[in-house]
Amino acid sequence: MASKLFRSVILGAPASGKGTISSRIVKNFNLEHISSGDKLRLNIQNKTEVGLEVEKYLQSGQLVPDSLMIKFIVGEINQVNGKSWLLDGFPRTVIQASSLWNVQQLDVVLNLVVPFDVIIERVKGRWIHLPSGRVYNTDFNAPKIPGKDDITGEDLVQRDDDKPDVVRKRLEQYENMTRPVIDYYKNKGVLQEFHGSTSDEIWPKVADCLATLVPLNAAAQKSQI
């Protein structure tokens, strides 16, 4: 692990490959992965004080207030016991970004830039066997018989939020919400953007960037997932 605490954030639209890139970063650069969504779900499941408060907002259809999210994330960062970390899923607003910066000045913000049309095509091919949760993609993991689960032969379905018009709306909402955050970090001089259509195309660029920033872990970079 690097002798200096390394603090980073990863940004990327839904289905941009952020999860894949994050897992490779965590493995190859020995960073602690702090996924705000996963941590929130865990706190709700375990009925912690924060979890109960967050659940109250979610059940009433309200957004979780910035102040509560900031308090929650700072608490999660403090729990990694001085390890370097990668924050995923936070911040989502400039208020959150500014509040985080006041307590944790970041070394780098990684922004994955994948064309929306590529994401829509990728998601459009996703089909699910609901009883088992098995996921297929007609582009790279197609079922043996179109529209049927390989194991049971039962019908596959496409989730409503995977349909192209819904995906495009979500991507536009993400763009509108995240653009001010990206601009904030650009002004801070810590933004690094990585363009590509696939995770395998983007990953080497991310790895090369981090190898210069986390030098003691650079040797591990070649052991790709």
Angle at 22 between CA 41 and CA 164, to 5 degrees: 75
The total of other beta-carbon atoms located within 10 Å of residue 135's CB is 12
Would you say 11 and 109 are in contact if contact means Cβ atoms under 8 Å apart?
Answer: yes
* Catalytic residue selected from 4, 56, 159, 169: 159
Question: Which pLDDT belongs to residue 216?
Answer: 56
Binding residues for AMP are 36, 41, 62-64, 89-92, 96, 159, 170
Catalytic pick among 7, 24, 39, 92: 92
Catalytic residue among 83, 170, 186, 188: 170
149 close to 134: Cβ distance less than 8 angstroms: yes
Beta strands in the chain (DSSP E): 7-12, 32-35, 85-88, 108-113, 126-129, 134-137, 191-195
Q: Which of 7, 24, 122, 126 is catalytic?
A: 126
C-beta of residue 144 within 8 angstroms of C-beta of residue 36: no
**Tokens 């979780």 -> residue:** 64
CB 90, CB 142: distance < 8 Å: no
Q: Residue 109: which of 174, 12, 23 has the closest Cα?
A: 12
Q: Note whether 209 and 30 are within 8 A (CB).
A: no
Round to whole Å and give the CA distance between 225 and 221.
10
Rounded to 5°, angle at Cα 187 from 74 and 203: 75
Long-range contacts at 76-80 (CB < 8 A, ≥ 24 apart): 76/34, 76/36, 76/39, 77/34, 77/104, 80/32, 80/34
State the catalytic residue, choosing from 18, 24, 39, 122: 18
Residue 168 annotated among the catalytic residues of the structure:
no
The answer to whether residue 24 is catalytic is no
For each of the chain's 225 residues, which pLDDT tens digit applies? 335 789 999 999 988 999 899 999 999 999 999 999 889 989 999 999 989 999 999 888 888 899 999 999 999 999 988 899 999 999 999 999 999 999 999 999 999 999 999 999 888 888 999 899 888 988 778 999 999 999 999 999 988 878 888 899 999 999 999 999 999 999 999 999 999 999 999 999 999 999 999 855 433 444 444
User: In the structure encoding, which two tokens stand for residue 183, read together?
Assistant: 């601009």
Residue for token digits 């890139």?
A: 21
**Residue 218 pLDDT:** 39
